[in-house]
């Protein structure tokens, strides 16, 4: 496998989500730092299902990403957020879309364990999707996603092209995800079970650094 190349990008979430490496021959780890609180709509989020005006009034930008899943909130200094590019020829890119997330979820779980977080699990069998999770990412579960004490702390998404795939992972430090539920015009069936690691006494900088090291070690 080729050695990792790394990049730090501090930019609006819309710019971060458009990033794709010019060199598709190497794996890349992009450390993403959004410049404004943003609601990122996933491919299954219906725009008309969300009261966008109320979110804009609270100071959120609203953008759409090209990968699957429900909406996510990102904000400056509130999560460890990475975009991980893996070339098409890389053995980490499993042809099975779901299994291809597992190595990344395991890296996040390893990092949390190194920080002293207990009861960390990686989702290996996806339960039946609940309606709320089609609108809000952290209301449901996907392959490779990470839980602490049964509460989701890391959400993953992926987009593929002929040259490879970008895995997107956000590990919550501060949890704003319930604000998305409050903004739904008609709340579907389901419950939130998210957790920000700030609540466990974890500091943001060590979280970002430890997750970054764990990914680069894979």
Say if CB 81 and CB 32 are below 8 A apart. Answer: yes
Cβ contacts of 161 within 8 Å, gap of 6 or more = 20
d(CA 29, CA 216): 8
d(CA 150, CA 163): 36
For the chain, domains (ranges, CATH) are: 5-216 (3.30.930.10)
Q: What is the pLDDT along the chain (218 residues), one digit of tens a residue?
A: 889 999 999 999 999 999 999 999 999 999 999 999 999 998 777 788 899 999 999 999 999 998 888 999 999 999 999 999 999 999 999 999 999 999 999 999 999 999 999 999 999 987 777 889 889 999 999 999 999 999 999 999 999 999 999 999 999 999 999 999 999 988 787 788 899 999 999 999 999 999 999 999 99
Return phi, psi of residue 181, to 5°. Answer: -65, -40
HSE toward the beta carbon, residue 29, CA cutoff 13 A: 18
């Amino acid at each position: 496998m080729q050695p990792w190349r790394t990049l730090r990008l501090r930019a609006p979430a819309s710019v971060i989500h458009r990033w794709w490496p010019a060199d598709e021959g190497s794996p890349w780890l992009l450390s993403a730092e959004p410049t404004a609180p943003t609601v990122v709509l996933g491919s299954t989020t219906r725009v008309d299902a969300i009261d966008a005006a109320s979110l804009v009034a609270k100071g959120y930008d609203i953008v759409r990403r090209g990968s699957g899943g429900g909406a996510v909130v990102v904000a400056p200094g509130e999560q460890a957020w990475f975009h991980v590019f893996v070339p098409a020829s890389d053995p980490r890119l499993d042809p099975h879309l779901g299994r291809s997330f597992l190595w990344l979820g395991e890296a996040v779980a390893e990092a949390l364990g190194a920080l002293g977080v207990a009861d960390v699990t990686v989702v290996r069998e996806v339960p039946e999707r609940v309606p709320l999770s089609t609108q809000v990412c952290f209301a449901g579960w996907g392959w490779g996603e990470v839980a602490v004490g049964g509460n989701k702390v890391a959400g993953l998404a992926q987009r593929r092209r002929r040259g490879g795939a970008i895995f997107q992972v956000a590990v919550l430090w501060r949890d704003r995800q319930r604000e998305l539920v409050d903004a739904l015009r008609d709340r579907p069936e389901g419950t939130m079970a998210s957790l920000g690691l700030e609540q466990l006494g974890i500091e943001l900088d060590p979280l970002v650094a430890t997750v970054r090291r764990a990914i680069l070690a894979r």
